[in-house]
Amino acid sequence: MSKLLKPGIAILSALILQVTLLPAYIADPFKPNLLLIVVVWLGLRATPVRGALLAYLLGLAQDSCSGLYLGLNGFSFLMTFLVLQNIAHRLYADNRYLMTLAVFIATIACGLAHLVLLALFSAAEGIYASLLVSLIPQGAVNALVASVVFGIVDAAQTEEVA
C-alpha cells in the first residue's frame, strides 16, 4: 500500500505544484515540467505495461490542466516512455547524471512532438515561435530540477536499503 501511496502523493504534489505554486513565482519559459521528469524516471526504471499506462495517464492529467488539446501530452509522454524503455537496457540507468541528461533530451523531444502535432492538427497558428523559444530554457530547468529530484529519490532508496 505504502509502495503505491508514496509515489501517488509525490505525483499529485507535482501536479498541484505545477499548476498553482510554480506559475505564480516562476516566469514563463522557466517553469519546470515535473510530470515529464516522472515519465523519464518511469521510462528508465519502471516495468513496461504499468509504466506505459502511468505515463499515458500522467500525460492526460497534464492535458487536463494545460492547453486545449486532450491527448497531446498523453501521446508525447507515452512516446517518450516507449523510446526510453527501448534504450534503457543499453544505458546505465542508475546513473543520476544520465537520467538528468535524459530529462533534457526528453523535454526537447516532447516539445518537438507537440510542435508537429499542433502544426498538423490544430488551428494555433504561430505557436512554433513561442514553443521553440521556450524549449531550451525549459529543458535546462527540467534537467536542473531532475538532478535534485533524482538525488533525493536515490538518497531515500539508499536509506531504505540500509
Partner 1 sequence: MWDLIKKYRVPFVTGAVVLVAFLVYGSNLKHRESANFFERGVLTVLSPLFSVGAVVSGGAETVWNDYIALVDVRRQNRELLEHLRTLNSRLVGEQEALLANERLKKLLELKEQMPAPSLAASVIGEDGAPWFKTLVIDRGGKDGLQEGMPVVTSAGVVGQVVKVAANSSRVLLLTDHASAIAAVVQRSRARGVLRGTGSRRLSLEFAIREDDVKVGDQLVTSGIGGVFPKGLPLGEITMVKKGEYGIFQTIEVRPMVSISRIEEVLVLLKQRNE
> Rounded to the nearest whole angstrom, what is the least distance from the CB of residue 104 to partner 1 in the complex?
16
> Rounded to the nearest whole angstrom, what is the least distance from the CB of residue 149 to partner 1 in the complex?
16
Q: Does 7 bind partner 1 (CB under 8 A)?
A: no
In the complex with partner 1, the residue whose CB is nearer, 80 or 138, is: 138
> Going residue by residue from 98 to 137, which x/- string records binding to partner 1, judged by CB under 8 A?
----------------x-------xxxxxx-xxx--x---
In the complex with partner 1, the residue whose CB is nearer, 54 or 61, is: 61
3-state secondary structure of 143: helix
Using the rule CB under 8 A, give the single segment among 4-12, 25-33, 84-92, 95-103 that binds partner 1: 25-33
Q: Is 72 exposed, middle or buried (0-12, 13-18, 19+ CB in 10 A)?
A: buried
Do residues 55 and 84 make contact, with C-beta atoms less than 8 angstroms apart? no
- The identity of residue 34, as a single letter, is L
Q: Does 31 bind partner 1 (CB under 8 A)?
A: yes
Q: Find where cell 515540467 sits.
A: 33
Q: Does 28 bind partner 1 (CB under 8 A)?
A: yes
3-state secondary structure of 85: helix
The backbone torsions φ and ψ at residue 49, rounded to the nearest 5 degrees and listed phi first, read -70, -55
Dihedral over Cα of 57, 119, 109, 129: its sign: negative
Using the rule CB under 8 A, give the single segment among 19-27, 45-53, 95-103, 146-154 that binds partner 1: 19-27
Do residues 146 and 39 make contact, with C-beta atoms less than 8 angstroms apart? no
Range 68-87, binding partner 1 (CB under 8 A): 68
What is the grid cell recorded at 101? Answer: 541528461
3-state secondary structure of 13: helix
> Rounded to the nearest whole angstrom, what is the least distance from the CB of residue 3 to partner 1 in the complex?
27
Binding-site ranges for partner 1 (CB under 8 A):
18-20, 22-24, 28-29, 31, 33, 62, 64-68, 114, 122-127, 129-131, 134, 138
